[in-house]
Amino acid sequence: MRIGVLALQGAFIEHRKILEEIGIKTFEIRQKKDLLKNMDGIILPGGESTTIGKLLRDLDMFEDLRYKIIEGLPAFGTCAGLILLAKNVEKGQSHLGIMDITAKRNAYGRQLGSFFTEAEFKGIGKIPMTFIRAPYITEVEKEVEILSEVEGHIVAAKEKNILVTSFHPELTQSNSVHKYFIESFINKK
């Protein structure tokens, strides 16, 4: 099994470390040719969604990445990755526009609105969650399953081959969300 990690900007190294700790081979996706490599899934990390979206277009990766996910490649988007995958973004630009959700950017405020909590995640139990300039999901369509809420806001969801979280599971000591992605999306293919 090999997971590609989009490595244009953001917390991609931390995702690779967690996956490697649980025995999953990874590689970085930095240019268009990297999207041609065999992969069982892809992670779109946190960072700055506008910057990542621009780089995907500038490097001519946007359409290929979008097509792969639409065709069923399991995708896990965290924070900015959630925004990239959302069909709608409140007061912001939609990028890949694949998942039937509406995201609110910087929903908890700027850097000072960053926080840590623990909350229930469907199928896992209570897990640690680190939020940094995080979005949350304001609306979901009928095919989307809500996996976690914090203070009445949706912070994790899945639809078909896509998992998204508002928080950064790669910045905690827990590997449970990454294992959930592998077991629920890749091992079931």
Instruction: Based on the residue annotation, tell me whether 141 is a catalytic residue of this protein.
Output: no
Rg (CA), the chain: 15
Distance CA 68, CA 11 (A): 22
From the candidates 14, 15, 95, 168, give the one annotated as an active-site residue. Answer: 168
71 is catalytic: no
Pick the catalytic residue from 14, 95, 159, 170.
Answer: 170
SS3 136: strand
Whether 168 is catalytic: yes
Torsion of Cα atoms, 159 then 161 then 163 then 164, to 10°? -70
How many angstroms separate the CA atoms of 164 and 77, rounded? 5
Question: Residue 76: which region, alpha, beta or left (left: phi > 0; alpha: psi -120 to 50)?
Answer: beta
- From the candidates 14, 15, 79, 178, which is the catalytic residue? 79
Active-site residues, by number, are 79, 168, 170
